[in-house]
Homo-oligomer: A and B are copies of this chain.
Amino acid sequence: MSEAPYRALSVDSLPQRLGATLRDRLGSPPESWRVREVGDGNLNLVFIVEGEQGGVVVKQALPYVRLVGESWPLPLKRSFFEYNALTRQAARDPGRVPAVFHFDEAQALVVMEYLSPHKILRRDLEAGVKHDGLAGQLGNFLARTLFRGSDLSMKTPERKADVALFSDNVALCDITEQLVFTDPYYAAAMNRHTSPQLDAIAAELRADVDLKVAAQQLKLKYCNHAETLLHGDLHTGSIMAHDGDARVIDPEFASYGPFGFDVGMLIANFLMAYFAQSGHERAPGERDDFRLWTLDVAEGVWTRFRDEFSHLWRTERTGILFPAALYEEQGHGLAAEQALAGLLQDIWVDALGFAGVEMHRRILGLAHIAEFEHIEDTDRRAACEAKALRLGRWLAVNRGRVLGFADVRAVAVRLETEAGG
């Protein structure tokens, strides 16, 4: 099949085209498979294929952005980057991403583990459903993939070759470069926001010089600081969860970038979930417990990331950066601890900045989030969104002067309670 030119799959053609590849795994004749197309994302075709012995997911890239149509072409090669990211993540944090069963570069498709009955985490954040163990699993995933994908761990020739490989993921980086860091901060054509309620604050933020400088300083880091292999799109719609098992999916935006990027993006999404709760309460206070849980998860992601990253620093620092030859082996173990603290401080500051711009682009830019979008009363929705915008501004501009998560929590709670949400 690799020899054939690319053709998009359909529910009807899939059994015939993937019959030989999947028959053994699914355990029944292709014509008997149950095939559903379930892609609800913005970019790709996603099929669930089930036979007698089980199911798989078939994800195939389309040569354009599904959400927009053929007028916005997008390279099929993103499937290659997703495959390469999934295999690296699986090696670095085993069990946290879906297993890959088959990759066909020409057809831009990946066959992978069907996670069932897992659900997209974002839906449960909207519904007010908690998950145990989430912060620990996600914090560990961040620490393990980011540490083990860097010059702190890898052999440098392999890392440099990998930088070259992922440098070609131009089109998806371009989406982030434009939609996250630039478009939200002026009246770009694809932007939208809850209007007219947010018109004034949108104008205020777009006239905020300090914020517009901060956003581009963060963009420089995203574009140029190739510190480690990022997931690149780690929001709560890229996480599936069920019964204490969280899985990370959809790394097609993978590129080398700064340690703080994935960390900040993910934390931002829990902070937005926090502010969205009041839009879904039937009575004020109904979601108080769940609301605080979203902050606990945000804090837990950071503390677990920090602790696991520190553990890996102390036990697996085999790369060319901060070598033990210079510290521990010279009797200067505290030098290694001093360097770790400095690096974690830099990651913390960057993560807060990325969290801030993520919150802005989800409210002022093109791609919004369900927790806000599904609040039908636009006054209520705008009230939630405005608090998130305020916190985002505080994070992005003030990022170098935030001592710890307690500060973030205090500002979030103050915004939530002062506004009477």
List residues of chain A with CB under 8 Å of any chain B CB: 150-151, 156-157, 160-161, 163-165, 167-168, 170, 173-174, 177-178, 182, 185-186, 206-207, 209-210, 212-213, 216-217, 219-220, 223-227, 320-323, 325-327, 329-330, 332, 334-335, 338-339, 342-343
- Chain B nearest CB, measured from A153 CB (Å): 13
Tell me, in angstroms, the Cα distance from A133 to B174 when the chains sit together.
41
* Sample (13) of A-B pairs whose CB atoms are under 8 Å apart: A163-B163, A164-B165, A164-B167, A177-B320, A182-B323, A209-B334, A212-B335, A216-B322, A220-B322, A223-B321, A224-B225, A224-B226, A225-B225
- Chain B nearest CB, measured from A190 CB (Å): 14
**With A167-B167, A224-B151, A225-B224 in contact, is A213–B160 under 8 Å at CB?**
no
Whether the pair B151, A220 counts as a contact (CB closer than 8 A) is: yes
A185: B residues at CB distance < 8 A: 326
* Chain B residue at smallest Cβ distance from A319: B223
- Chain B nearest CB, measured from A219 CB (Å): 6
**Copies of this chain in the oligomer:** 2
Whether the pair B321, A209 counts as a contact (CB closer than 8 A) is: no
Tell me, in angstroms, the Cα distance from A330 to B186 when the chains sit together.
8
* Chain B residue at smallest Cβ distance from A332: B209
A156: B residues at CB distance < 8 A: 170, 173-174, 177, 223
Interface centre among A170, A224, A225, A325 (most CB of B within 10 A): A224
Whether the pair A220, B227 counts as a contact (CB closer than 8 A) is: yes
Whether the pair B223, A320 counts as a contact (CB closer than 8 A) is: yes
Cβ-defined partner of A167 (8 Å) among B161, B177, B223: B161
Tell me, in angstroms, the Cα distance from A151 to B182 when the chains sit together.
14
Whether the pair A186, B320 counts as a contact (CB closer than 8 A) is: no
Tell me, in angstroms, the Cα distance from A352 to B339 when the chains sit together.
19
Cβ-defined partner of A330 (8 Å) among B161, B165, B206, B342: B206
Instruction: Say whether chain A's binding surface is mostly helix, strand, loop, or mixed.
Output: helix
* Chain B residue at smallest Cβ distance from A327: B212
Closest 5 CB pairs of A and B: A164-B164, A164-B167, A209-B335, A160-B167, A216-B322
Tell me, in angstroms, the Cα distance from A335 to B178 when the chains sit together.
19
Cβ-defined partner of A226 (8 Å) among B157, B170, B226: B226
A326: B residues at CB distance < 8 A: 182, 185-186, 212, 216
A209: B residues at CB distance < 8 A: 332, 334-335, 338
Tell me, in angstroms, the Cα distance from A170 to B217 when the chains sit together.
28
A323: B residues at CB distance < 8 A: 182, 216
A150: B residues at CB distance < 8 A: 224
Whether the pair B167, A216 counts as a contact (CB closer than 8 A) is: no
A327: B residues at CB distance < 8 A: 212
- Chain B nearest CB, measured from A184 CB (Å): 10
* Chain B residue at smallest Cβ distance from A174: B156
Tell me, in angstroms, the Cα distance from A151 to B224 when the chains sit together.
8
A160: B residues at CB distance < 8 A: 167-168, 170, 173
Tell me, in angstroms, the Cα distance from A156 to B222 when the chains sit together.
13
Whether the pair A339, B168 counts as a contact (CB closer than 8 A) is: no
Whether the pair A186, B325 counts as a contact (CB closer than 8 A) is: yes
